[in-house]
Every structure is written in C-alpha cells, then in structure tokens.
Structure 1
Amino acid sequence: MPLQQTRVDVFEEIFLVFLGLGTLVGVVVVSYVLYNAYKYRDDGEPKDDESLPTLGELPTGGKGGKKLFLSFGISAVIVISLVIWTYGMLLYVEDPQDEFDEEPAEIEVTGDGFAWYFEYANGVEEIGTMRVPADKPIAIQTTSGDVWHTFGIPDLRVKSDAIPGEYDETWFMAEETGEHEIKCFELCGKGHTAMTGTVQVMEEEAFNEWLNSQLTLEVEVVDQNETPVTEGYEMTLEHTENDQYEEDLVHTYTAEDFDENGTISLDHEDLQQGGEYNVTITFEDGQYETIEKTINIDGPSSETFTAGSANESDNGNGTNESGHGGDGE
C-alpha cells in the first residue's frame, strides 16, 4: 500500500480544516451580532416587542434555554470530533510505518559544533548537505554531539530534537526534486543562527548513483623509493564491526588484482559498507614488513601504503588521503 500522505499533506489538511471551521464560526458569530445589533438598534421610537429585555427583570423567551443548550451541544460535538480527528492525524505523522510500501532510506543526523552531520546506512557521511531521493520515505535518527539542538526542515514540516546521548526518530518524504533549508530550532549558542544546512532532493536513480560513487577506495602500494610494488603480496580488508552485519565484510586481494602501477580501485560492490576497516598487507619471502593500519571509508577515499624493508623498524603504514568527494551527480 503506497504512502497516502506526506507530513506536508497532513499538516496542510489540519490547517485548512481549522481555517475552514474557524472562518465558518466567525461568519456565523459576526452575522448573528450584526443581526441583533440591527434588530435592537435604537431609532428613538418606543418598541412594543415583548421579547425586548426590561431593566431589572430576567429575560424571558428562548424556549426555556433550549437554544442555549442546543448551541452548547453542537459546539461540544464539533470540538470533540475535531480533537479526535486531529489526534488520529498526528498519530499517523508519528508512526506511519504500516503505510510504507517500501523500506525507508535511513539517515543518522548529528548536530555538533553548529553544523549538521549526516551518515547514511552504507556508512557514507556528509556535512551540511543531506541528499535524499524524491518520492521515497526517509527515516532519520537525530542526536547531538555537544548541546541540545532541534533539527528542522520547515518546508517539509520536519522537526526533531537532537539531544546528547539520545536518539529521536522521525520521517519525511519529499515528492519533488529541489532544495530545502535546514535550520536549528533550539537556541544552542553564539553560532545558532549559522547552524543551517540544505536538503537536496534528487531523482532516485541519480541519488543511488551519487551514493554508490561515495563508497570508493583507491589503494596504492609503493616501496620507499615510491616505485610501485606489483607482485608478491596480499591485502586484506576487514570491517571493524564485521560481526554486526549479515554479509561478510572481509575482502582479500592479491598483487594480481593490482595494476602495473601498484594500484587497485574498489567501488561499492567491492566494499558494500563504509566505516572503519583494518587493512593488512603481507609480503612473500619477508621482503617487506607487514603493513597494518585502520582506515575510515566514509566517502571517496585513497590510501598510499609504503612498504618498508624487513630490516628496518618502519612498518610503512603509509599516508591517508581520505576525504569526501564532490557532488557526484
């Protein structure tokens, strides 16, 4: 069953219903006041109308208060019905899981240092810009690394507390491509007004291409003279949290998998999941020291490992040139 309404749809419907009823009540009340003002206006002539109140006497008529009780009864029914309907709509906003016809894309949002950090389910991380596919539910978890923040996307009617040590869950869905501003709605310090970001809504195909392009790793193995090492070694990549995933995130490559420049390029199909990896490179015949290092893959990354002589203490851990790539669109 497809998602029937987005958050924007729900809050706009609530607003329009309240606006319509408020306008109707206002028109009725103002009309009744004007009617009575005209009916009982003072034109300087005596009135024989028995329904006119007499000074010092209780008013008569009104059919024993039936009109009063009827008006109160109708008002009570309208108000109670409105409360129940609104509560049901807000429950839908809080937990529409049964309405999703597909698994929502998951993003963890962290507010820290007057900036927003976004981590996707595959381990890719971004700062300041959250890219999402259009017309697909997005489930977010918000937290904070320093003080209390409130993550909000006004255009999409999203607001979620970001509290240190806690996770608040919410969702949204953007039906059209475009950009929306992210703001912090909790006074959090002198950089509060600058704590903004952007939601970039992309076509699903373009989003998937971008997300896959972020999970890449280029590894180069050279000797101390910066000459490519092209034979006689094996490299193993093992995710530091391998036991937490269903798939086996241990990958082994031999020198034959590297090109003539001692380089191998891995993409999302090879890595499957971003995060921290333990890298181990062992060399045959003890020609070089074994290289062991932990690297973090949270975007397009490159690593150069320098093989040190087995006779030297330097194990050649290499240089880390990891970093986020561009838009990748």
Structure 2
Amino acid sequence: MTRVDVFEEIFLVFLALGTLVGVLVVAYTLYNAYKYRDTGDRTDDENLPALGELPTGGGSGKKLFVSFALSAAVVIALIAWTYGMLLYVEDGPDELDEDSVQVDVQGQTFSWTYQYENGLEPGQLVVPAGEPVSLNVTSIDVWHTFGISQERVKADAIPGEHDETWFTADEAGTYEGAIECFELCGPGHSNMKSDLVVYEQDRYEEWVDEQFTLNITLQDGNEERVTSGVDELTLEHTEEDGHDYSYDGSEFENGSITINEIDQGGTYNLTITPEDDSEFEPIEEELDFTGPAEETYTLESPNASSEESGGNNGGDDTGSDQQGGEN
C-alpha cells in the first residue's frame, strides 16, 4: 500500500461516513417536520409550548442516551482506525529498510541534490515504479520543505537535522516540476523545483548501469592517442572495501577504455602503470565518480621538456582537469 492509497482510503471513509450521517440527520429532520406539522386541527384547550420555551420531553431519555453512545463509538473507532493508518504512513511498509531505494536529499537555495546509497549523484530523482523509496532529507543553508504532492510526500529540510520519509510511485513517467519546496525560503522559492522520473524496474536497472559508465582516454604530450606502452590501469575505492578494479593494457582500444562494471560511486584512486620498457611515467590520481564520466589523461615522457608536459587535461563530462605524470 502506498501513501496515496492510505490518504485516499482515509478520504473515502470520511466522505462515506459524513454522507451517511448527513443523510440520516436531514431525513430525520424532514420526517419530524412532516410528522409534527401544523394541520390546523388543534383544540382550544391544547397545551402548546410558547415561543422560546424549552420542551420538557418525556420518557427516560433512552433515545438520547443511545444516540450519544452510538456517536461516541463511531467517533472513537474512526479515530483509532485513522491513527493506525497514519502510523503506517509514519513507519512505512515492512520492506522499507531491506528492499527500498535509499536516497539522501539535500536542499539549498534554490535547488535539490540527490545522493543514492551506491554513491550516484544524478541531477534529478529517479526511482523504480512499485518499489518503496526511502528519503533522508536535510538542508545546508536555510529551512526548506521537500514535497511531492502527487505522492503525498512532505518532509522538513532543516540545517543540522535529518527528516526521514518514504513513498512508492506506481505509474512510470517523467513528472516535470513534481518536486517542490513548501517552505518560503527566499526570492527563488517558487522556482525551487525538480523533476521526478519513474522507470519500470527493468528500465531503472538499465539506468543505474548507464550511470556507472566511465570512459578513460590516454594521450601523449602531443595530444595523440596512446595505443601501446600501457601495462595496467587500476581503480581502488578510497572508502568502500571490495570495489577495486584492474584492467590490462590490451583492453584499451585506440587508446580508450570504457568501464561499465563499477557499482559504487565515490572517490577512487586511479593508477595507470606503463610497461617496463615504455617511455611514459606512471599516473596516480584521485577520481570522483558519481555519474557517467569521460576522462582524458596525458602520459608524460620523463625526457619531455616542461613546456611539452605542462598541458592540463580535462574530463569531458565532469569538467575537472586531470594532470598526469607530474608531482
């Protein structure tokens, strides 16, 4: 059951109960208005109440007691049921911690950033359809409120605090501007929006694989592709054990290699080792890998002049420069 299902069920129950009570009250009022209508057949000695006089009634008040008892039972049952449903919204489904997609959401004036448990940092929130998504929401500057109206999600984003919430999106699609800020946070508040992308499970897995794609190109000081002389390329995660990758120089094609088996984003130690008889020096760099990237590194010759080896080399997608072979 999703949050949308819960709130729709609560709404329908209150609507049905309110309609039923309204119909009964109106029907009973009309019945009594008809039953005790003035027909003009009164006798002269009939004792009629005066205007403003409270009726004395009769009997033991059984009807009044029964009506109050039934009303109290219905209200108490409704409160208990609603409270149980809202507890489900608060705690989430049983599989939330085990199978859910974990995303850290960070608000800042005037945008949202997302970091997945596997280290991905895409520019928008992408989730699988029908699967629970767990969100850990905070802010780095002022108060914001993260919200997705169509998924009935809202969580405060407060500096130094973390608010956890969840949702499950049923319908695949791209919902432009579905993520908004619901806390007046400054002049750009109304534009603090982000897209929600919901993929079917197979397509979501393909998207994750696409994000973990790293293309590395090697060139020499003349910006020519290096097609030989490389012995090995290694990647070692600086924080997570078990995420080390090694590639033989023969796996480069025309001086380039595409790596798509990485499954954890973050910072990696990159080492490019030339062959023993190669003219190139080794490269040791730190690589921040949080999404699809293309990086170009220059293999320098130890005999090259400083002018020949001093050029900067930038990753095409990441916008960061990589300098190889100089310390």
CA distance in 1, matches of 2:235, 2:112: 30
CA distance in 2, matches of 1:136, 1:194: 29
Counterpart in 2 of 1:182? 179
Does the CA-based 8 Å contact 1:276-1:296 persist in structure 2?
Answer: yes
Work out whether 1:156 is the aligned partner of 2:154: no
- For 1:67, the aligned partner's letter is K
Which of 268, 273, 277 is residue 277 of structure 1 equivalent to? 268
CA distance in 2, matches of 1:302, 1:49: 103
Secondary structure of the residue that 2:269 maps to in structure 1?
strand
Work out whether 1:262 is the aligned partner of 2:255: yes
Secondary structure of the residue that 2:125 maps to in structure 1?
strand
Backbone CA RMSD of aligned residues: 2.9
Gaps of 5+ in 1: 325-329
Counterpart in 1 of 2:122? 126
From the superposition, tell whether residues 221 and 232 of structure 1 become closer, same or farther in structure 2 (CA, over 3 Å): same
From the superposition, tell whether residues 186 and 317 of structure 1 become closer, same or farther in structure 2 (CA, over 3 Å): same
Pairing of 1:296-315 with structure 2 (within 5 A): 296-311=288-303
Counterpart in 1 of 2:110? 114
Can you list the C-alpha shifts for 1:71-129, whole angstroms capped at 9, x where unaligned?
A: 211111111100100011111112234256971122222222321222223222222x3
Does the CA-based 8 Å contact 2:148-2:154 persist in structure 1?
Answer: yes
Q: Alpha-carbon deviation of 1:182?
A: 1.6
Gaps of 5+ in 2: 320-327
Does the CA-based 8 Å contact 2:230-2:272 persist in structure 1?
Answer: no
Which of 62, 72, 80 is residue 84 of structure 1 equivalent to? 80
From the superposition, tell whether residues 62 and 90 of structure 1 become closer, same or farther in structure 2 (CA, over 3 Å): farther
CA distance in 2, matches of 1:290, 1:91: 58
From the superposition, tell whether residues 263 and 49 of structure 1 become closer, same or farther in structure 2 (CA, over 3 Å): farther
Counterpart in 2 of 1:93? 89
CA distance in 2, matches of 1:254, 1:132: 35
Counterpart in 1 of 2:324? none
Counterpart in 2 of 1:18? 14
From the superposition, tell whether residues 306 and 60 of structure 1 become closer, same or farther in structure 2 (CA, over 3 Å): same
Which of 210, 213, 217 is residue 210 of structure 2 equivalent to? 213
CA distance in 2, matches of 1:88, 1:50: 55
What is the total number of aligned residue pairs between the two structures? 312
Work out whether 1:31 is the aligned partner of 2:19: no
Q: Percent identity between the aligned chains?
A: 54
CA distance in 2, matches of 1:205, 1:274: 21
Which of 98, 104, 116 is residue 100 of structure 2 equivalent to? 104
From the superposition, tell whether residues 310 and 185 of structure 1 become closer, same or farther in structure 2 (CA, over 3 Å): same
Which of 239, 247, 250 is residue 253 of structure 1 equivalent to? 247
Can you list the C-alpha shifts for 1:227-281, whole angstroms capped at 9, x where unaligned?
A: 23321443221112124xxxx112223322222x2211100x2x22112212122
Secondary structure of the residue that 2:23 maps to in structure 1?
helix
CA distance in 2, matches of 1:143, 1:51: 73
Does the CA-based 8 Å contact 1:237-1:278 persist in structure 2?
Answer: yes
Does the CA-based 8 Å contact 1:144-1:164 persist in structure 2?
Answer: yes
Counterpart in 1 of 2:314? 319
Q: Alpha-carbon deviation of 1:48?
A: 8.0
- For 1:257, the aligned partner's letter is E
- For 1:186, the aligned partner's letter is E
Q: Alpha-carbon deviation of 1:309?
A: 3.0
Does the CA-based 8 Å contact 2:229-2:278 persist in structure 1?
Answer: no
From the superposition, tell whether residues 52 and 233 of structure 1 become closer, same or farther in structure 2 (CA, over 3 Å): farther
Does the CA-based 8 Å contact 1:242-1:250 persist in structure 2?
Answer: no
Secondary structure of the residue that 2:99 maps to in structure 1?
coil
CA distance in 2, matches of 1:50, 1:27: 34
From the superposition, tell whether residues 49 and 275 of structure 1 become closer, same or farther in structure 2 (CA, over 3 Å): farther
Can you list the C-alpha shifts for 1:268-309, whole angstroms capped at 9, x where unaligned?
A: x2x221122121223346844432222221221011111223
CA distance in 2, matches of 1:101, 1:305: 41
CA distance in 2, matches of 1:49, 1:23: 43
Q: Alpha-carbon deviation of 1:46?
A: 4.2
Does the CA-based 8 Å contact 1:291-1:317 persist in structure 2?
Answer: no
Bigger Cα displacement from structure 2, 175-184 vs 209-218: 175-184
Does the CA-based 8 Å contact 2:96-2:134 persist in structure 1?
Answer: no
Work out whether 1:192 is the aligned partner of 2:186: no
From the superposition, tell whether residues 78 and 265 of structure 1 become closer, same or farther in structure 2 (CA, over 3 Å): same
